Every structure is written in C-alpha cells, then in structure tokens.
Structure 1
Amino acid sequence: MKKTGYLLLAGGLLLISKGAMAADVEEPEYTLLAQTGDFELRRYDEQLVAQTWVSGDQRAASRAGFKVLADYIFGNNTAPTGGSSKISMTAPVTMQPNNNDGGSDSQKIAMTAPVSMQQDDGKWRVQFTMPSKYTMQTLPKPNNPDVEIVEVPAQTYGVIKFSGFTGSEKVDKKTQELQDWMQSKNLTPTGDPELARYDEPWTLPFLRRNEVMIAYEQK
C-alpha cells in the first residue's frame, strides 16, 4: 500500500509531503489504467474495510462515522484467540487503546487513508480501509455492533481528484464532471459515487486531497 506523510499539529493531522519526518499512513495500492488531467481510471485489488452507517447531512455524518470507526481501530475490538499484542499506530494520534477492566485482548489498528463516504437511501456509509497485512481471520473483531467488517472485491473506478473543501455543492459539481467524463469514455457505472478524503479537517484547504470515485464495468 502507498504511504502518506502526516504531522501532528494542534491536536489534528496536517498533510505534508512524502519523505518528511512524520509517521506514514497506509493507502490502498491500485493500478493506473488511464489518466487525463484530474481524471483517472484505476483498478483496485480486493480490500478489507470497516464500515458503519450514519444519518444526517454530509458534515454531521462524516464526523459521526469517523468517531465510530476511530473508536474501533483505536482499541474497541477483540483480537483473535491467542493474540493480545498491541499494534503500533502508523499515524501520530493521541488516543490510547480502550482496554476493559477485565484485561480483554484488544489491539490498536493502524490508520489508513482515504476515509470513504457513500450515500444510500438517506444514510451515509463511512469506510476505513484496513491495513493490507490483515485477513478476515487475523483482523480484530469490532465490539460495537454498528461496525461491520466487509471484504470488497477487486474493482475498477473512475476518479476525479480535487483539493479544498468538500461541501455538498462542490462534491456535486465534481461528481457531475466525473459522470460526464466517464460517459464520454462509454463507461457504464456499477455503483453510486463515493467521496474519498485523505486528510483530517485541520489540514489546510490547499493541501487537502479529495476524490470522487465511481465503480464501473470493465470490458
């Protein structure tokens, strides 16, 4: 998986360039199939994701979903039988594992990027991609029933990259641009648009990396 550099700043995470003196955040690997400016076609291998469904507008849902999933990766989980070692974080976060009084086996799971959101029937699905070293058998199980572990099959995506804020108007505009571009390439979407954000809200707008992604049928 790819690596993104982060630096802890005033309780948040500030994106900085690769190779800087900061922790690395893992990103899913993909094969670049084609590129035109800010538009790309990508092929992702199968992935494990932790996901939760939340209600509200985009901003509120993003915060609520992130909180639930962060609670899981920071320790609100149960390790597989026989496993009790802590897993080092790959981002400089300040939260500690939430161990129960009974000393249950819990693990911290490395933060990965991006955080992905997709709307369906009035709710938002928020996802964290799990680090590549895990399998369904070795990944700690969520204690919170609102967190679900899902195996995502290999998939091709049309992607548009952009910086700045991710307000609903801007996301709608970028989504339409991506849909128009994909239509010009005679690509048939197989899923709803997904918003992928690589940075914490404290990151300066011009340093932010955002994407809208739409799965399509590869012929």
Structure 2
Amino acid sequence: MAVEEPSYTLVRTFPDFELRRYPTYAVAETEVAGPFDEAGNQAFRILAGYIFGDNRAKAKIEMTAPVSQRPAMSEGERIEMTAPVVQRPASGTEGASFVVSFIMPDRFTLDTLPEPSDPRVRLREEPGKLMAVRRYSGRWTEKSYRENETRLLRAVDDVGLKPLAAPVYARYNSPFSLWFMRRNEVMVEVAETATNP
C-alpha cells in the first residue's frame, strides 16, 4: 500500500549519497530510552496510538513514511563534526535516549493537527533543510545502520560538505516487509555552500 512521503528536491547525486532539499513539515514525535534496536518499537506504539485516534479530536491520521530515529539532545542543539566521522557513545547505546518521529501528512499544519491525548507525544515543525542521504536495504539493526552511517559521513567529508547535526535513521517499510526488500536511509543535515544550488 502506497503511503505519503515528504517531498524534496534532488540537488545532486554522488556515488554514495544524494543531496536533497526538504521543505518544512510537521512531525509527531516521542522520546524513549533504551538500546538503539528497541527504541523504534517502543516509540512506534506511542505514536501509532496518536494517529489511530488517541488524540483530543479522536481523529485518525493516515500513516506516512519514513519513521525517523535520532539521538535525543536539547532542541535546536547542533553537533560539530570532527574526525573520525563515526559518531556514537563510547559504550554503545545502552542508557541512550532516542527521538522517534512520524512525519505528518502534508495536508496538516501544526495548527490543524489534533492535540495529542498522551503527554509523551509532541507536535513540532521540522524546518526545511539540505540533507545528505544514503539509501540501503536490509534488517533494522544498529550494526547495519552504523555501517551505512560511517559510509555516508565519510562520503560527505570526501566531497567537502559539513554536517550540522547528528545523523537520522529513516525506515520506510512496515515490520512485516521482507528484510531484503526494506528501504532504509541514513540522513544528515549539511551546511549550505556557495556551490549548492
């Protein structure tokens, strides 16, 4: 079944990633603590409740893709990227917190989205940005994500782009999809430069 995805403009294609410009869009998100591989499942139940009617209007909201996951940090906090390009807690992700987001359908704004009943669900506007994006298939594991995150960050560095925030993990398929047919992406916001259109 086709689901809505956020629109973007393809700026440029590189061998290991695409450079995409995303407009502003609304998200419903929640923060969960726990290992990387379990955070998405914990958060999915909370966010699915919101879109399936656990909101003040009892309204159902259609599912979109992707579901994104990023390390939790202060709102608006930016991370300076340095070498090496691999970024993760020294002891893995035990004790870590992640923010998991559902992108809201394009027909909604923050003013028209129903108010969540669950206080763990936050509604927020994601500002437009320039993103370097690496697409891959396979299982939803931290190992697979980290390998692709490393490849993306190295490729971004190799072409002289500067990451502005922690990478984001994006999943496009349902848990019932065959693992080898799953579409996954690792995305990182990059700075605008004179050579970016």
TM range (shorter): 0.7 to 0.9
Question: What aligned pairs does 1:30-109 form with structure 2 within 5 A after superposition?
Answer: 30-79=8-57, 106-109=58-61
Structure-1 residue corresponding to 2:5: 27
Number of paired residues? 171
Residue deviations 1:51-76 (CA, integer Å, cap 9, x gap): 00001112221111000000000000
CA distance in 2, matches of 1:218, 1:36: 16
CA distance in 1, matches of 2:12, 2:153: 16
Residue aligned with 1:141, SS: coil
Amino acid at match of 2:71: Q
Residue deviations 1:67-92 (CA, integer Å, cap 9, x gap): 0000000000123xxxxxxxxxxxxx
Higher gyration radius (CA): 1
Structure-2 residue corresponding to 1:134: 108
Q: CA deviation at 1:38?
A: 4.5
Residue aligned with 1:192, SS: coil
Residue deviations 1:84-105 (CA, integer Å, cap 9, x gap): xxxxxxxxxxxxxxxxxxxxxx
8 A contact 1:62–1:126 mirrored in 2: yes
CA distance in 1, matches of 2:171, 2:15: 19
TM-score, normalized by length of structure 1? 0.76
Structure-1 residue corresponding to 2:69: 117
CA distance in 1, matches of 2:20, 2:27: 18
Amino acid at match of 1:157: M
Q: CA RMSD, aligned part only? A: 1.1
CA distance in 1, matches of 2:141, 2:37: 8
After superposing on structure 2, the runs of 4+ consecutive aligned residues of structure 1 that deviate more than 3 Å are none
Residue aligned with 2:69, SS: strand
Q: CA deviation at 1:37?
A: 3.8
Structure-2 residue corresponding to 1:214: 188
Give the structure with the higher percent strand.
Answer: 1
Structure-2 residue corresponding to 1:101: none
Does residue 202 of the first structure (1) align with residue 176 of the second (2)? yes
CA distance in 2, matches of 1:179, 1:55: 25
Structure-2 residue corresponding to 1:168: 142
8 A contact 1:199–1:209 mirrored in 2: yes
Amino acid at match of 1:148: R
**Aligned mate of 1:184, from 153, 158, 170:** 158
**What stretches of structure 1 of length at least 5 have no aligned partner?**
1-5, 7-23, 80-105
User: Identity of paired residues, percent?
Assistant: 40
8 A contact 1:38–1:162 mirrored in 2: no
Amino acid at match of 2:62: A
CA distance in 1, matches of 2:166, 2:179: 26
